Amino acid sequence: ALDETTHIFKSKLPDIPLPNNLLLHEYCFLKLPDVAHRTCLISAARSYTYADTHGASRKVAAGMSKLGIQKGDVVMILLPNSPEFVFTFMALSMLGAVATTANPSYTAAELSKQLAVSNAKLVVTLSAHVHKLDQQAQHHFFKVVTVDDPPENFSAFPEGEESEVPEVEISVEDTVALPFSSGTTGLAKGVILTHKSLVTSVAQQMEGENPHMYLKEEDVVLCVLPLFHIFAMHIVMMCGMRAGSAILLIEKFEMRALLDAIERHRVTVAILVPPLVVALTKNSAVEEYDLSSIRLVMSGAAPLGLQAEEALRNRLPDAIIGQGYGMTESGPVLTMSLGFAKFPFPTKSGSCGTVVRNAEMKIIDPLTSFSLPRNHHGEICVRGSQMMKGYLNDEKATAETIDADGWLHTGDIGYVDDDDEVFLVDRAKELIKFKAFQVPPAELEDLLRSHPSIADAAVVPQKDDAAGEVPVAFVVAFDLTEDAVKDFVAKQVVFYKKIHKVYFVDAIPKSQTGKILRKELRAKLDSI
- Chain residues that interact with ligand AYL, rule: CB under 6 A: 181, 230-231, 234-235, 300-303, 323-328, 332-333, 336, 352, 410, 412, 424, 427, 433, 438
Contact, 460 vs 387, CB < 8 A? no
Which CB sits closer to ligand AYL, 301 or 387? 301
Which CB sits closer to ligand AYL, 67 or 187? 187
> CA-to-CA distance for 132 and 527, rounded, in angstroms?
41
Cα–Cα distances in angstroms (integers) from residue 281 to residues 99, 276, 294, 348, 367, in the given order: 35, 9, 14, 20, 40
Which CB sits closer to ligand AYL, 303 or 441? 303
Which CB sits closer to ligand AYL, 23 or 422? 422
Least distance (Å) between residue 335 CB and ligand AYL: 8
Sign of CA dihedral 106, 111, 117, 121: positive
Residues 6 or more apart from 509 whose CB is under 8 A from it?
516, 517, 520, 521
User: Nearest Cα to 109, choosing from 144, 133, 127, 143?
Assistant: 133
Contact, 30 vs 242, CB < 8 A? yes
Which CB sits closer to ligand AYL, 245 or 438? 438
Least distance (Å) between residue 140 CB and ligand AYL: 25
Least distance (Å) between residue 124 CB and ligand AYL: 22
**φ and ψ at 307, to 5 degrees?**
-65, -45
Which CB sits closer to ligand AYL, 197 or 328? 328
Which CB sits closer to ligand AYL, 85 or 325? 325
Least distance (Å) between residue 333 CB and ligand AYL: 4
DSSP E strand stretches across 327-435: 333-336, 354-355, 360-364, 378-383, 390-391, 408-416, 422-427, 432-434
Name the closest residue to ligand AYL (Cβ). 326
Within 10 A of 518 (CB to CB), how many other CB atoms are there?
17
Least distance (Å) between residue 307 CB and ligand AYL: 15
Least distance (Å) between residue 306 CB and ligand AYL: 12
Least distance (Å) between residue 202 CB and ligand AYL: 10
Least distance (Å) between residue 39 CB and ligand AYL: 23
- Secondary structure of 14-40 in HEC code, one letter for each residue: CCCCCCCCCCHHHHHCCCHHHHCCCEE
| SS3 state of residue 366 | coil
Which CB sits closer to ligand AYL, 63 or 332? 332
| SS3 state of residue 155 | strand
Which CB sits closer to ligand AYL, 300 or 441? 300
Least distance (Å) between residue 97 CB and ligand AYL: 23
| SS3 state of residue 311 | helix
Which CB sits closer to ligand AYL, 28 or 333? 333
Which CB sits closer to ligand AYL, 82 or 401? 401
* Helix extents (H) in 37-118: 50-66, 83-95, 108-118
Least distance (Å) between residue 410 CB and ligand AYL: 5
Which CB sits closer to ligand AYL, 160 or 190? 190
Directed axis angle between helix 441-449 and helix 482-490, to 10°?
Answer: 110
Cα–Cα distances in angstroms (integers) from residue 234 to residues 19, 215, 238, 356, 414, in the given order: 16, 13, 5, 14, 23
Dihedral angle of Cα 111, 114, 118, 121, to the nearest 10 degrees: 10
> CA-to-CA distance for 278 and 261, rounded, in angstroms?
18
Least distance (Å) between residue 497 CB and ligand AYL: 14
> CA-to-CA distance for 342 and 211, rounded, in angstroms?
6
| Buried-state track 363-386, b at ≥16 Cβ within 10 A, e below 16 | bbeeeeeebbeeeebbbbbbbbbb
Least distance (Å) between residue 472 CB and ligand AYL: 19
Within 10 A of 31 (CB to CB), how many other CB atoms are there?
18
